[in-house]
Amino acid sequence: MNFIASVGRARTTFARQADVDLFLDTLRKFERGEISAEAWRAFRLLHGTYGQRQEGDLSMLRVKIPQGVLDHRQLGALALVGERYSRGFGHVTTRQNVQFHFVRLADVEPAMRILAGAGLTTREACGNSVRNITTCALAGVGPDEIFDVTPYAEATTRHLLGHPLSSSLPRKFKIAFEGCPEDHALTAIHDIGVRARVRSEGGRVVRGFAIAAGGGTATLPTSARTLVEFLPAGELLALVEAVVGVFHRLGDRKNRHANRMKFLIRKIGWEAFRGEVDTELAGLRARGAPALPFDPELPPAESPPWWTRPAAPTPAEVAARARTTPLRGPGVLPVVGPDADGEAALAAWLSSNVRGQRDLDFATTAITLPLGDITADQLRIVADLALAYGDGTVRITAAQDLLLRWVPRFETQELFRRLAAAGLGKDAAGTVADVVSCPGAESCNLAVTASRGIGQLVEAHLRSRPDLVAAAPDLTIKVSGCPSGCSQHHIAGIGLQGSARKVAGRVVPQYFVLLGGGIEEGGARFGRLAAKIPARRVPEAIERLLTLYRAEHGPGESATAFFARVELERAKAVVQDLGKLAPETTRPEDYVDPGEDRDFLTDAQPDSAQGAA
């Protein structure tokens, strides 16, 4: 154990046991009737604990994973929480969090202590706070990145975590960092988007950032606008705090459905907003602007692993360990392999899941997580494989997958054999077959539909049609159970948003089908409504849309580009008949939400947007 603890990378803790003590103390006050239910609700949200839609004391516990970085100790802590207090698995989100559902309220505090012991916190993971600060999963190893934004994003996290502004905002606030030319971190849909830039000054290259502000999805999807073209890197914390301060001071605290920063900007106007930021920044500088804890031009740099790595478990050992923890319902449970590991499977995985990094001797390898789920056993196996083949860490991607970095190229095949033995060897990471889904009505108070069920159905259908996947690998499919858009379906090539309709007095689950969303150089592009399709017919609708692309795309035109420009009426025509429902044409399964075993009911209670990760 001492040997294992001495290898790999590790960061200083983000947790404080005092926060867990405060949670326990406040829970006891609530149980004794010393604070109101509303005061308790506001407190627990700020500490990452949502009440679920089920009756009783069941909660969702959200763990912040700053910059999406997890070391092997933290993977083990997550595994322990998942098997001991949840359903035997965790759910990875689009914003680099890990969530555990069906956690009893009495178990939240011991779960928090396990997490804190590994340096993880739930503080400000939810509620009206600065949420988890996300970062491109390729940061530090991207072959074309401008520079590694990880140290700057981590410094911003540490500056704002527990800051008086961070836990008393009018509404949630999201920040993302990107260092590559392509916006993998989706900065365009964040309240603050930070992108690496360099310029020449006095014959030397200096670092800085382009800062965008006011992005967001859900109600009134909005692309962030450029606030500063080039901000010297050393001024980062001051500007970020100034923007947060403006939202803290001027944001709407009464109307919950119109109190994101994008609404504030819409209300007062862009130039007035910029003026308020300038005023806030001037005051901050006068009081003493915060500084980065390192030289902005010489931040900590990530180097290849230099230590002796422990031996990897054999494929047989991995297979024996992969299914020891029982998975418990309710809801859609992960299906644990083993996956195929023949030469064809290996070739497909190498093609889709392995990419070069800036050091040509190494590769990044994506671990595909269907629906973002990973079991406790698999978390521990990933921890071992990260030590044996990588640098002891993984990073979470915006597509709910994991990324191993610093894997020697000559070892990728052996890594695959072990991943396949663990049920983690699926290919097609980040492609149309890698469907992204929020937790949906399994647990979330706001969700209308069980998005995980339809996500599983769509992914299974696409994996049974490799020709469709091969034709449109760049396309993204994202499923949300409600308009909040926790899967980020508004910016998907094909986005699915859960809703419902009535047919002869009975309720049918359906999905709004949005086409043509994406992130481009100019910002975010939001999908257009093409159809409202009953849930059970969605896989067929997607197949028809992909068939339309195959038949009518231009030379070299990607599926993403095609659905962004195709005439909406043309797309509507190919799925129009699937959207029609009448009592005499419905089938019994039309009334059952995929993933459920009873007739569909819409019983969402708007207590909180649990999935608003």
Residues 120 and 200 grouped into a single domain: no
The predicted pLDDT at position 602 comes to 65
As a residue count, the chain comes to: 613
Pair 109, 239 in one domain: no
478 and 351 co-located in one domain: no
pLDDT recorded at residue 256 = 78
- pLDDT tens digits, residue range 273-307? 999 999 999 999 999 999 999 999 999 999 999 99
Q: How confident is the model at residue 6 (pLDDT cuts 50, 70, 90)?
A: low
Which has the closest alpha carbon to 445: 592, 602, 220? 602
What are 17's two structure tokens?
A: 């046991």
> What Å distances lie between residue 78 and 65, 333, 374, 571, 593, CA to CA?
11, 17, 10, 43, 30
Q: What local confidence, expressed as pLDDT, does residue 67 receive?
A: 98
CATH number of 449's domain: 3.30.413.10
Pick the most confident of 50-59, 128-137, 333-342.
128-137
Which residues sit opposite 200 in a β-bridge?
205
Cβ neighbours of residue 447 under 8 Å, at least 6 residues apart?
53, 438, 439, 440, 441, 481, 482, 498, 604, 610, 611
- Residue 477: the pLDDT is 98
Looking at the structure, do residues 147 and 125 belong to the same domain, yes or no?
A: no
Average pLDDT, the chain: 94
Q: What is the largest CA-CA distance in the chain?
A: 76
In the structure encoding, which two tokens stand for residue 423, read together?
Answer: 């049920």
With a threshold of 0.75, does the pTM exceed it? Answer: yes
Quickly state the pLDDT bin for 9 (edges 50, 70, 90): confident
Q: Please check whether residue 333 lies inside any domain of the structure.
A: yes
Q: What is the pLDDT of residues 355-387, one digit of tens each?
A: 999 999 999 999 999 999 999 999 999 999 999
φ and ψ of 175, to 5 deg? -130, 140
Range of the domain at 397: 2-129+303-421
- 543 falls within a domain: yes
Answer yes or no: do 392 and 498 share one domain: no
User: Can you give 276-319 as a three-state secondary structure string?
Assistant: HHHHHHHHHHHHCCCCCCCCCCCCCCCCCCCCCCCCCCCHHHHH
**Domain co-membership, 116 together with 173:** no
Can you give the pLDDT at residue 1? 31
Q: Give, rounded to a whole angstrom, the gap between the first and last alpha carbons of the chain.
A: 34
Res 29 pLDDT > 60? yes
Contact 126, 46 (CB under 8 A): yes
Lateral strand order in the sheet of 477-480:
436-437, 477-480, 494-503, 506-515, 528-534
Please check whether residue 251 lies inside any domain of the structure.
yes
Domain count, the chain: 3
Whether residue 296 lies inside any domain: the answer is no
Residue 56: the pLDDT is 81
pLDDT tens sequence across 146-184: 999 999 999 999 999 999 999 999 999 999 999 999 999
To 10 degrees, the CA torsion angle through 17, 23, 26, 28?
-90
CATH of the domain at 359: 3.90.480.10
Tell whether 273 and 189 lie within a shared domain.
yes
For residue 444, the cross-strand partners are: none
User: Both 99 and 15 in a single domain?
Assistant: yes
**What is the per-residue pLDDT across 236-280, written as a single tens digit (0 to 9) for each?**
999 999 999 999 999 999 887 788 999 999 999 999 999 999 999
Is residue 149 located within the same domain as residue 125?
Answer: no
64 and 162 share one domain: no
Phi, psi of 538 (to 5 degrees): -60, -45
Confirm whether 200 is domain-assigned. Answer: yes
613 domain residue, yes or no: no
- The answer to the question of residue 598 being in a domain is no
Residue 2 has pLDDT above 50, yes or no: no
Distances (CA, A) of 351 to 312, 344, 347, 355: 23, 11, 6, 8
More confident residue, 85 or 330: 85
Specify whether the CB–CB gap between 510 and 535 falls below 8 A. Answer: yes
pLDDT digits (tens, 9 = 90+) for 84-123: 999 999 999 999 999 999 999 999 999 999 999 999 999 9
Nearest to 454 by CA among 529, 512, 522, 392: 512
Q: Given a cut of 80, is residue 544 above it in pLDDT?
A: yes
Could you say which of 234, 259, 287 is where a domain stops?
287
pLDDT in tens, 404-434: 999 999 999 999 999 999 999 999 999 999 9
Residues 440 and 586 in one domain: yes
The answer to whether residue 339 sits within a structural domain is yes
Domain stop point among 255, 287, 319: 287
CA 611 to chain centre: 10
Do 122 and 147 belong together in one domain?
A: no
Span 571-609, pLDDT tens digits: 999 999 999 988 888 888 889 888 887 787 765 433 333
